[in-house]
Structure 1
């Protein structure tokens, strides 16, 4: 089963070459302003791709998905994961869009108890975890060297121990690393200057 994974496309989705695969995963910030027009453009593009399964986890720019009534407009062939999961061919996927912060971004949650309540929902049998935020200290550094990942997330990862953890959010830190039994991937396609610098990840399960 082949996964094709990307994140942080910020309206540049039409300019990205998407490899063939079975499951397409987008880990957030598919839009830049989160408007209806931006979102509908992206959803139409995603819906028409040939991949059998499509998984979308919104990011902090994707305001459209904050309103439950608007989530009903997501095409039926797109699995929108907001603190929810699904099983595909025996693999358990779980997705959450929340990011740490107290600013007026989509799906922002205060660091500490508030954001931890979301991570506590992650089932222990999760094979593939998709969050928009990275965990603190893992592919989460901006160009100045400051780490912006979530401090609460690594604590849950010690319990859940997914095989794979996909995220984005921090454009500067795109890449991969392995820690303990989990392979981590920052899937950001754009750099900090909103230039396309990376290609989607292709991974065979």
Structure 2
């Protein structure tokens, strides 16, 4: 099965043409810029119409209007092969995908965020988060912006892939013994669409 990973498109999704073929396309957050409902609806219409067998997306810190909304509320607006994950998962052809968003409000509701991290199942094959784990593709201006609790969870459950974005300057792929990490932020720090999505076989 082939995975196509992209992140941090910030309302520039319609400029993406000739996306690579894959079985599943995954967007790991910051699909909008201002976080308005109109922006999110525009993304969902575009994403839902893409010609992929399965589609998965989560929310990032820019996607304000999705904060607190239950996955079921969003899911009813999506095609049957498209899934919005919010501290929730989906099994596809024997593989378990789990999504963890990252909202600004988590800084005020840290207990909620830590609970969401703890909820990640041990059998997760592909972990999708917006924020990176600490020390892995999370460096910008000599500062590490990743999450130490997320790193510990990843080290414990050892997913095959951990897909994220958030830190535009840290775009890239890094591999450990157990996990391949992908920061697929497509824009740079000036919000220019410069990077390419990542493709993986699992």
Shift of 1:94: 0.3
Residue deviations 1:17-37 (CA, integer Å, cap 9, x gap): 222211010000000011111
For the residues of structure 1 that align with 2:131 and 2:195, how far apart are their CA atoms?
18
For the residues of structure 2 that align with 1:109 and 1:157, how far apart are their CA atoms?
21
The root-mean-square deviation of aligned C-alpha atoms, in Å, is 1.8
State the number of aligned residues.
Answer: 198
The answer (yes or no) to whether the contact 1:16–1:199 under 8 Å persists in 2 is no
Residue 35 (str. 1) matches residue 36 (str. 2): yes
Give 1:42-121 correspondences, 5 Å limit.
Answer: 42-68=43-69, 71=74, 74-77=77-80, 78-98=82-102, 105=104, 107-109=105-107, 114-121=112-119
The corresponding residue for 2:8 is 8
Shift of 1:2: 1.4
Residue deviations 1:123-146 (CA, integer Å, cap 9, x gap): 00000000000001100011x110
1:169 to 158, 166, 171: 166
Shift of 1:110: 5.2
The answer (yes or no) to whether the contact 1:54–1:79 under 8 Å persists in 2 is yes
The corresponding residue for 1:190 is 187
The answer (yes or no) to whether the contact 2:31–2:43 under 8 Å persists in 1 is yes
Instruction: Using the TM superposition, name which of 151-160 and 188-197 deviates more.
Output: 151-160
Residue deviations 1:178-200 (CA, integer Å, cap 9, x gap): 12311100010000010111111
Runs of 4+ in 1 over 6 A off after TM superposition: none
Shift of 1:113: 5.0
Residue deviations 1:57-86 (CA, integer Å, cap 9, x gap): 110011121242762553133200000001
The answer (yes or no) to whether the contact 1:91–1:127 under 8 Å persists in 2 is yes
The answer (yes or no) to whether the contact 2:159–2:179 under 8 Å persists in 1 is yes
Residue 153 (str. 1) matches residue 150 (str. 2): yes
The answer (yes or no) to whether the contact 2:75–2:84 under 8 Å persists in 1 is no
- Greater percentage in helix: 2
TM-score by length of 1: 0.90
For the residues of structure 2 that align with 1:79 and 1:152, how far apart are their CA atoms?
25
Unaligned runs of 5+ in 2: none
